[in-house]
Amino acid sequence: MIETTGLSKYYGAFAAIRDVSFVVPQGQVAAFIGPNGAGKSTTLKILTGYLAPSAGTARIAGLDVSTDRIAAAARIGYLPENGPLYPEMTPLELLRFFGESRGLSGSRLADRVEAVTPECNLHAVIEKSIFKLSKGYRQRVGMAHVLLHEPDILIMDEPTSGLDPNQIHDVRELIRRLGATKTILVSTHLLQEVEAVANRLLLINEGRVVFDGTPAEMAAGDSLETAFHRLTGKLPATPAGDGDGAHPRANAAPHADVVGPSRGGQP
């Protein structure tokens, strides 16, 4: 349902992502993890047609995003990193506006707004201006917008970032529930997120996929956190050739000085 083949994105000589290839089959919930700056948002923007790749192909339900963007977009619900919500609108106005721009109208639009409002717990704020809402409610408005046209593929960029623990719990519950019927690719830099929602894990570091498998396979008897540090070059790398076996680039010379969750915080 979601497929990238040899995807690269260059900004001048700098490669934001390099040769990224993976497939998320129907019904899977895949977590896309990696340190800040690893290339998660870049990959998701290419998959959703917001950014053109320098090389490679992105496919949604078999459709090439660069040549079939509109048809591909109809299949996807995309929650960008900081949802572009019009703050002066109310959630109701926003949902109607985006619904109409998606081609929904009349009773179908009314039905869909009626369905996503309770699904995302928006009743209490549906007629309040978005600028008055807490971050948690704004994120729910973003989720409602994503679900409005009933896409079967969801692509979400750090949906729990900036939320408090209760709100994080709610968003995870929603993702878990949606995962029963939809194909989901959700990025995060929080490892607890992975264990909470995903049965598949893609780890990206410095623009390259360095692990592709299940959370248990990545942890390999250790903690996910230790595996994350090792694969992102924060701990001494395992000897060449002794990788996870799931990806040929698993040992692609990490540069310990430029990786890690607090890039730049190193002396």
Ligand X SMILES: Nc1ncnc2c1ncn2[C@@H]1O[C@H](COP(=O)(O)OP(=O)(O)O)[C@@H](O)[C@H]1O
Residues near Mg ion (CB under 5 A) are: 40-41
Closest to ligand X by CB, 99 or 207: 207
- Residues 10 to 29 in contact with ligand X, rule: CB under 6 A: 11, 16
Kindly state the smallest distance separating residue 242's Cβ from ligand X, in Å: 26
Closest to Mg ion by CB, 41 or 232: 41
- Residues 33 to 92 in contact with ligand X, rule: CB under 6 A: 34, 36-42
Q: For ligand X, how many residues bind (rule: CB under 6 A)?
A: 10
* Interaxial angle between packed helices 106-119 and 135-147, expressed in degrees from 0 to 180 and rounded to the nearest 10: 140
**Residues in contact with 182: Cβ distance below 8 Å, sequence separation at least 6, in sequence order:** 27, 151, 152, 153, 154
Q: Nearest residue by C-beta to Mg ion?
A: 41
Contact of residue 36 among Mg ion, ligand X, none (CB under 5-8 Å per partner type): ligand X
Kindly state the smallest distance separating residue 16's Cβ from ligand X, in Å: 3
Specify whether the CB–CB gap between 145 and 98 falls below 8 A: yes
Kindly state the smallest distance separating residue 11's Cβ from ligand X, in Å: 4
CA distance 159 to 259: 23
CA distance 117 to 164: 21
**Which residue, among 3, 45, 57, 9, has the nearest Cα to 25 in the 3D structure?**
3
CA distance 262 to 16: 17
Kindly state the smallest distance separating residue 176's Cβ from ligand X, in Å: 23
List interacting residues with ligand X (CB under 6 A): 11, 16, 34, 36-42
